[in-house]
């Protein structure tokens, strides 16, 4: 029978062959013709892992690291590997309850699947980390993962250094998608200004991942990887000991201190009060502290040294004298017969602390005795200078001088969010006075009042100009960038240019003013600043101020101000100190300046200064109205919260306490109430400039 | 052994043995590549019976030993016990029903100590033997329809039992025995009808029901037009054509949907539709899936397997990525890669070249078996040899076909390559019986 069907064996062979040809054709198509599969396999298995570089370190003038990197640990969990652990004991160790434990495990599973590690508890405290490490063998599936963190070994210079945060969508957009989700970016301070230098360069590692997105090794043994480049260090002028001292002096006070080396423009110390410990913003409590500080009405996050706007008061007088002298409207020997008040404008203002006795017989004496009448008068002489035809043109000339001194303009230091202060334009006076006004209208400009607001930095810089007899360098913190590149040099060049702005003022004028300021220390209001063997030149200032609280205008204690430089003949340090609501300039700001000069020039303190230091540091000069303000802000926020979210948890506290308070108030709490005080008394700068413009800039209004 | 001839090797076809050894080595290498983890001590883990490649190695040793014993066995033994073995096989299949182990997705496995034993796999040998026995009986007249039906029954009884154990893939293998029957004189028309029905079913899946009905009607009308002269003379021709038309439309409109809805399981229907890139239209009300679920399903279901498998093979290129550089297979992107999708490892690691070599080996194997079949004096041996070729062919074509998207994913192993003790053992036995029979090709077995 077999012979009958033998031909069929050939057909069967052909069937086999056809099947093979079909399979080979498909293989040929998949493996040779179609190119996409190679890429698809790459997409599947290769993961570009970003390697974060270490951020740059910031050093002070003596090479001490004032901003450094450290490592903190996140507790990670891989839910699939958590087996047979004593949950109760674990919860006790970590300090949570079992319900929370279950919730977090579930969250981890949900977010990252059971086989990939997710954060169980972020940023462990040192103590918790140690406790966990001891017991880690008991808890499979849990492990610690390093997280780099910024640390501040001296607990100082929070406002200068700034902080970093994860880049938000706005940052990412602004950078043209250079930053990615999860990247850290400098938000304020030097961290923000020198972001490009500090951040370094990200690296990429191509890792192989498996079907569950776990990384299992390097792709091609790392042949395509790019190494990360660590951020470069910044060498600053900051004297961290001086900075710490200044911060101690400023504790529980509102205001700002700036100390500059006049020879270089290098900022030696800069403090804003109230202050905070920069380490508070990092670590496990970081975000909690951050939100607390943001809501604090005293504004610990604001850098008042470059953003606080104050009437300079009498500290302005040396500048007024220099302008008048340079304009030739007076000579160093020009005297004014002050009888206790300025009478030439008809209203007998301003008054003067001295009367007669020839206390304003020349420039030097007028500064030493801080004669208000003298300075109101020479201001008038300056703007009424016949050379300019009318007061408006004269005023514009005077305003130009102010800008040259760095007032009313941004100096451009290496911190973001600097405030330009305020010197009114003629249009402001035109508007307020129906276009007709004389030098009497704003004669108190001569004594640093009226529409004139300066920042502590601007006044310190102005002192540098006086000390240097006409020139200055733009104030800045950073002296050198490690491994400076061409790009860095471009960035730094603006700080290395000598601004010979006022060297055309005759030397005699400077001598008169400087000697006058020296006399202030020797015989005048700043005797408190005397230091043996050091010739200090200084000028005190006191400015009245008011605030509106609960609809009433109330007078606050005067702002205490002090500007100085030393030594007289070879100035090494220029300081401006502003203490809000503290009283006379000589009471608080004076000793603060003296202690700082001593520390910087002598590196030791006199016995008297040591005592003063403790006394000042322990004095709380926080204005009392802040308490009431905080209460109002909090209650309004609680009310708004209740109104918008129907959640009474916040407002409860206020309902019990403030029943009586509410009766007194006619208007219900509204959103417009907060913020008024800021317009009136102090101009503060918020971390974001936009908010600042909205709330705190009368010039913009 | 009863025979006094001391040379066991006499008459043995060594080419088959060499191909066998080569394929098993390729299989071991592929399993090694698919399951090796960085840092494993290779030699040690080959011996320790813990890794899959180690287990497969021991399975091979055991299978080879068994193969050796088969070579020592008298050829007459197989012809003599064929029917008995078939009966044993059926009993084993029946025993599965009460004793199968609770493994998900299948009811075909019995646990024997540490080993999973799958009678459906083993039964192929017995069917091949029994079918050969039946066809080689002198009293069997295979031109008679009755004999043809009995032969088909012998092949399809285990298939029916296997389907009942949710192993449709393994059951389909038994259809390959029609090749044996074809060789032994089954009318071509049976195969042609079989293929036509298969084509119609495929068309049903691919083409809209109404469109297909219209096409079929058009074809019928065209045929009537072509044969209008003959029809005038012979009315019954028209009746035949109309009957065929009605049958086709009936299959397409009613039979196929009925089978898909009621006979096959949901995942099987889905796999068939996945193959053609279509969604299963036979879901009951309320079972329709949202687009999101569909996407999820794509990432986990059988279409995901095929997609990943195609990526693996496609990314291999001409020369492949090298044994341990195959990312798709090494990092578990292809599911079931040691068993049903083992061909991916070869395709990705060794590329087009390696795949061609493997396919070449298979082709040589099949053609060699056909050649051997044709040189047998005894019908029993010839039928058995064709049975072996058919089983190998079906496994090979469907398995590789499913990894490259040409066949539905029906989970049958690649002979000698796929990981799995039972399948390696089965294929070894089936092949070595053939070698034994061939060694005695001069003998006439009944």
Residues B404, A27: C-beta atoms closer than 8 Å = yes
- pLDDT-derived band of residue A670, with 50, 70 and 90 as boundaries? very low
Express as a percent the part of chain B with pLDDT over 90: 32
At A588 the pLDDT is: 87
* Alpha carbon of residue B126 to chain centroid: 15
Once rounded to an integer, what is the mean pLDDT over residues A411-419? 92
Greater pLDDT, A601 or A681: A601
Beta strand A58-59 with A234-236: parallel, antiparallel or unpaired?
A: parallel
Query: B121-156: per-residue pLDDT in tens?
Result: 889 999 999 999 999 988 888 888 898 899 999 999
Look at residue A306 and tell me whether its pLDDT is greater than 90: yes
At B104 the pLDDT is: 62
Position A664 in a domain? yes
DSSP character for A580?
A: T
Instruction: Provide the 10 A C-beta neighbour count for residue A554.
Output: 11
Distance from CA of B184 to the nearest CA of A (A): 7
Q: Is A387 exposed, middle or buried (0-12, 13-18, 19+ CB in 10 A)?
A: exposed
Look at residue A94 and tell me whether its pLDDT is greater than 90: no
- Interface A–B counts its CB contacts (< 8 A) at 123
- Partner residue facing B38 (CB), from A12, A40, A217: A217
Query: B349-377: per-residue pLDDT in tens?
Result: 999 999 999 999 999 999 999 999 998 88
Candidate ranges A3-17, A47-61, A167-181, A443-457; pick with highest mean pLDDT: A443-457
Look at residue A663 and tell me whether its pLDDT is greater than 70: no
Position A465 in a domain? no
**Long-range pairs, B74-77, Cβ under 8 A, ≥24:** B74/B1, B74/B2, B74/B3, B75/B381, B75/B436, B75/B437, B75/B439, B75/B440, B75/B443, B75/B445, B76/B443, B76/B445
Look at residue A657 and tell me whether its pLDDT is greater than 70: no
At A697 the pLDDT is: 38
At B436 the pLDDT is: 92
Q: Which of A601, A445, A437, A438 is nearest to A532 (CA)?
A: A601
Look at residue A244 and tell me whether its pLDDT is greater than 70: yes
> Would you say A80 and A57 are in contact if contact means Cβ atoms under 8 Å apart?
no
Q: Is A145 exposed, middle or buried (0-12, 13-18, 19+ CB in 10 A)?
A: exposed
* Range from A73-77, A193-197, B92-96 carrying the lowest mean pLDDT: A73-77
Residues A44, B382: C-beta atoms closer than 8 Å = no
Mean pLDDT, chain B, whole residue set: 84
Beta-bridge partner residues of A423: A452
Position A357 in a domain? no
Task: Give the global pTM.
Answer: 0.64
At A680 the pLDDT is: 35
- pLDDT-derived band of residue A686, with 50, 70 and 90 as boundaries? very low
Q: Which residues contact B327 (CB under 8 A, 6 or more apart)?
A: A41, A42, A44, A45, A46, A208, B315, B321, B333
Position A686 in a domain? yes
Residues B352, A31: C-beta atoms closer than 8 Å = yes
Top residue of A6, A23, A221 to mutate, by most chain B CBs within 10 Å, is A23
DSSP character for A361?
A: S
From chain B, the residues in CB contact with A26 under 8 A are 404-406
DSSP letters of A295-330?
H-TT-TTS-HHHH-BB--GGGGHHHHHHHHHHHTSS
Query: A76-90: per-residue pLDDT in tens?
Result: 888 887 877 888 888
Position A119 in a domain? no
* Range from A222-226, B86-90, B124-128 carrying the lowest mean pLDDT: A222-226
Residues A24, B401: C-beta atoms closer than 8 Å = no
Position A647 in a domain? yes
Question: Which secondary-structure segment (H or E) carries A258?
Answer: strand A255-261
In chain A, residues 493-532 whose CB comes closer than 8 Å to chain B: none
Q: Tokens 């096409």 correspond to what residue?
A: B215
> Would you say A261 and A598 are in contact if contact means Cβ atoms under 8 Å apart?
no
Look at residue A682 and tell me whether its pLDDT is greater than 50: no
At B293 the pLDDT is: 54
A91 — contact with chain B (CB < 8 Å)?
no
Query: A570-582: per-residue pLDDT in tens?
Result: 999 999 999 988 8
What's the half-sphere exposure (Cβ side, CA atoms, 13 Å) at B216?
A: 26
Distance from CA of B224 to the nearest CA of A (A): 32
- Terminal CA-to-CA distance of chain A, rounded, Å? 113
A36 — contact with chain B (CB < 8 Å)?
yes
Query: B421-435: per-residue pLDDT in tens?
Result: 888 999 999 999 999
Cis omega before residue B440 (within 30°)?
A: no
Nearest chain B Cα to A17, which residue? B363
Total domains present in chain A? 1
Residues B379, A2: C-beta atoms closer than 8 Å = yes
A212 — contact with chain B (CB < 8 Å)?
yes
Nearest chain B Cα to A27, which residue? B352
At A699 the pLDDT is: 37
Position A230 in a domain? no
Query: A597-623: per-residue pLDDT in tens?
Result: 999 999 888 888 999 999 999 988 888
From chain B, the residues in CB contact with A30 under 8 A are 310, 313-314, 347, 404
Position A43 in a domain? no
DSSP character for B413?
A: P
Residues B348, A41: C-beta atoms closer than 8 Å = yes
At B295 the pLDDT is: 52
At A410 the pLDDT is: 94
Once rounded to an integer, what is the mean pLDDT over residues A349-371? 86
At A690 the pLDDT is: 39
Alpha helices in B228-378 (DSSP H): 228-233, 235-250, 256-258, 266-275, 291-300, 302-315, 327-330, 342-374
At A389 the pLDDT is: 87
Look at residue B238 and tell me whether its pLDDT is greater than 70: yes
Q: Containing domain of residue A694, as a range?
A: 625-700
At B3 the pLDDT is: 46
Question: Which secondary-structure segment (H or E) carries A270?
Answer: strand A266-273
Q: In the structure encoding, which two tokens stand for residue A293, read together?
A: 């500080």
ipTM of the complex: 0.87
Query: B174-213: per-residue pLDDT in tens?
Result: 989 998 998 888 888 888 888 888 888 878 877 778 888 8
Residues A27, B356: C-beta atoms closer than 8 Å = yes
A46 — contact with chain B (CB < 8 Å)?
yes
Cis omega before residue B27 (within 30°)?
A: no
Look at residue A331 and tell me whether its pLDDT is greater than 80: yes
Once rounded to an integer, what is the mean pLDDT over residues A344-365? 84
Once rounded to an integer, what is the mean pLDDT over residues A628-650? 84
Candidate ranges A164-168, A524-528, B23-27; pick with highest mean pLDDT: B23-27
Look at residue B85 and tell me whether its pLDDT is greater than 90: yes
Instruction: Provide the 10 A C-beta neighbour count for residue A234.
Output: 26
Mean pLDDT, chain A, whole residue set: 84
From chain A, the residues in CB contact with B352 under 8 A are 27-28, 31-32
Look at residue A461 and tell me whether its pLDDT is greater than 60: yes
> Would you say A304 and A282 are in contact if contact means Cβ atoms under 8 Å apart?
no
Residues A31, B379: C-beta atoms closer than 8 Å = no
3-class secondary-structure state, position B436: helix
At A651 the pLDDT is: 78
A213 — contact with chain B (CB < 8 Å)?
no
Once rounded to an integer, what is the mean pLDDT over residues B411-420? 90
Look at residue B272 and tell me whether its pLDDT is greater than 60: yes
């Amino acid at each position: 029978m077999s012979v009958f069907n033998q031909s069929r064996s050939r057909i069967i062979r052909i069937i086999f062959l056809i099947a093979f040809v079909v399979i080979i054709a498909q293989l040929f198509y998949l493996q040779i013709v179609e190119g996409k599969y190679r890429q698809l396999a790459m997409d599947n298995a290769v993961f570009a892992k970003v390697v974060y570089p270490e951020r740059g370190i910031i050093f002070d003038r003596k090479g001490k690291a004032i901003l450094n990197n450290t490592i903190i640990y996140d507790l990670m969990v891989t839910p699939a590997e958590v087996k047979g652990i004593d949950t109760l004991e674990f919860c006790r160790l970590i300090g949570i309850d079992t319900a929370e434990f279950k919730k977090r495990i579930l969250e981890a599973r949900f977010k990252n699947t059971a086989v990939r590690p997710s954060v169980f508890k972020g940023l462990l405290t040192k103590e918790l980390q140690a406790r966990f490490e001891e017991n880690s063998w008991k808890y499979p599936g849990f492990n610690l993962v390093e997280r780099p963190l910024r640390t501040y070994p001296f607990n100082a210079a929070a406002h200068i250094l700034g902080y970093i945060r994860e880049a938000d969508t706005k940052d990412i957009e602004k950078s043209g998608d250079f930053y990615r989700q999860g990247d850290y970016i400098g938000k304020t301070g030097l961290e923000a200004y020198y972001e490009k230098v500090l951040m370094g360069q990200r690296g990429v590692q191509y890792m192989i991942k498996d079907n569950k997105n776990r990384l299992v090794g390097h792709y091609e043994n790392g042949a395509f990887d790019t190494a990360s480049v660590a951020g470069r260090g910044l060498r600053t002028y900051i004297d961290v000991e001086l900075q710490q001292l200044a911060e101690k002096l400023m504790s529980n006070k509102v205001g700002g201190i700036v100390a500059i080396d006049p020879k270089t423009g290098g900022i030696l110390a800069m403090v804003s009060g109230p202050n905070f410990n920069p380490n508070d913003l990092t670590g496990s409590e970081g975000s909690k502290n951050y939100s607390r500080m943001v809501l604090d009405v005293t504004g610990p996050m604001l850098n008042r040294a470059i953003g606080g706007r104050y009437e300079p008061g009498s500290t302005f007088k040396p500048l007024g004298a220099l302008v008048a002298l340079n304009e030739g409207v007076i000579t160093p020997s020009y005297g004014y017969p002050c009888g206790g008040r300025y009478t030439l404008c008809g209203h007998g203002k301003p008054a003067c602390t001295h009367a007669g006795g020839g206390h304003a017989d020349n420039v030097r004496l007028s500064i030493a005795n801080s004669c208000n009448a003298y300075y109101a008068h020479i201001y008038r002489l300056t703007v009424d200078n016949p050379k300019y035809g009318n007061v408006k043109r004269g005023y514009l000339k005077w305003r130009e001088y102010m800008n040259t001194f760095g007032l009313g303009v941004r100096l451009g230091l290496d911190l973001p969010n600097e405030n330009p202060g305020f010197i009114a334009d003629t249009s402001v006076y035109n508007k307020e006075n129906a276009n007709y006004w004389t030098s009497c209208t704003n004669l108190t400009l001569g004594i640093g009042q009226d529409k004139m607001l300066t920042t502590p930095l601007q006044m310190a810089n102005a002192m540098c100009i006086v000390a240097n007899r006409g020139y200055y360098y733009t104030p800045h913190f950073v002296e050198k960038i490690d491994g400076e590149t061409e790009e860095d040099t471009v960035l730094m060049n603006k700080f290395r240019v000598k601004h010979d702005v006022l060297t055309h003022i005759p030397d005699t004028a400077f001598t008169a003013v400087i000697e006058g300021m020296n006399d202030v220390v020797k015989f005048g209001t700043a005797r408190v600043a005397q230091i043996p063997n050091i010739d200090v030149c200084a000028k005190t200032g006191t400015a009245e101020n008011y605030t509106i609280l609960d609809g009433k205008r109330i007078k606050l204690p005067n702002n205490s101000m002090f500007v100085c430089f030393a030594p007289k003949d070879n100035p090494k340090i220029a300081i401006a100190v502003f203490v809000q609501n503290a009283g006379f300039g000589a009471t608080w700001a004076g000793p603060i300046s003296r202690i700082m000069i001593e520390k910087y020039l002598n590196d030791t303190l006199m016995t008297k200064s040591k005592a003063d230091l403790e006394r000042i540091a322990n004095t709380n000069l926080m204005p009392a109205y802040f308490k009431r303000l905080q209460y109002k802000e909090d209650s309004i926020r609680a009310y708004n919260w209740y109104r918008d979210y129907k959640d009474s948890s916040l407002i409860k506290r206020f309902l019990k306490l403030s029943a009586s308070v509410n009766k007194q108030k006619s208007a219900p709490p509204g959103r417009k109430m907060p913020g008024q005080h800021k317009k009136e008394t102090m101009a503060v700068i918020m971390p974001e400039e936009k908010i600042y413009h909205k709330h705190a800039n009368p010039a913009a209004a | 052994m009863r025979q006094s001839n001391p040379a066991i090797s006499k008459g043995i076809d060594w080419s088959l043995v060499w191909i066998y050894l080569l394929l098993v080595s390729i299989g071991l290498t592929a399993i090694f590549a698919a399951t090796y983890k960085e840092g494993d001590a290779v030699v040690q883990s080959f011996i320790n019976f813990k890794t899959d490649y180690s287990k497969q190695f021991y399975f091979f040793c055991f299978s080879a030993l068994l193969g050796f014993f088969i070579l020592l066995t008298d050829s007459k033994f197989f012809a003599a016990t064929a029917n008995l073995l078939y009966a044993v096989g059926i009993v084993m299949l029946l025993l599965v029903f009460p004793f199968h182990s609770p493994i998900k997705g299948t009811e075909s496995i019995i646990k024997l100590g540490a080993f999973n034993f799958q009678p459906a796999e083993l039964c192929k040998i017995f069917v091949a033997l029994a079918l050969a026995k039946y066809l080689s009986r002198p009293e069997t007249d295979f031109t008679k329809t009755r004999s043809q039906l009995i032969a088909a029954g012998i092949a399809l009884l285990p298939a029916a039992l296997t389907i009942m154990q949710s192993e449709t893939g393994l059951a389909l293998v038994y259809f390959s025995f029609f090749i044996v029957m074809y060789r032994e004189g089954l009318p071509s028309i049976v195969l042609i009808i079989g293929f036509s029905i298969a084509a119609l079913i495929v068309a049903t899946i691919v083409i809209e029901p109404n469109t297909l009905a219209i096409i079929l009607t058009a074809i019928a009308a065209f045929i009537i037009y072509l044969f209008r002269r003959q029809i005038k003379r012979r009315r019954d021709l028209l009746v035949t054509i109309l009957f065929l038309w009605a049958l086709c439309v009936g299959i397409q409109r009613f039979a196929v949907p009925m089978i898909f809805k009621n006979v096959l399981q949901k995942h099987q229907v889905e796999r068939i539709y996945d193959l053609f890139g279509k969604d299963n239209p036979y879901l009951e009300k309320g079972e329709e899936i949202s687009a999101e679920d569909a996407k999820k399903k794509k990432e986990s279901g059988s279409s995901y397997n095929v997609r990943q498998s195609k990526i693996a093979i496609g990314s291999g290129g001409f020369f492949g990525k090298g044994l341990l550089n195959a990312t798709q297979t090494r990092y578990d992107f292809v599911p079931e890669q040691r068993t049903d999708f083992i061909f991916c490892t070869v395709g990705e690691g060794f590329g087009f070249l390696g795949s061609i070599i493997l396919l070449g080996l298979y082709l040589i194997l099949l053609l060699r078996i056909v050649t051997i079949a044709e040189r047998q004096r005894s019908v029993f041996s010839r039928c058995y040899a064709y049975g072996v070729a058919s089983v190998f062919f079906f496994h090979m074509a469907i398995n590789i076909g499913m990894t490259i998207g040409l066949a539905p994913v029906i989970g049958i192993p690649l002979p000698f390559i796929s990981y799995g003790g039972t399948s390696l053992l089965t294929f070894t036995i089936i092949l070595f019986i053939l070698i034994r029979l061939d060694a005695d090709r001069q003998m006439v077995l009944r």
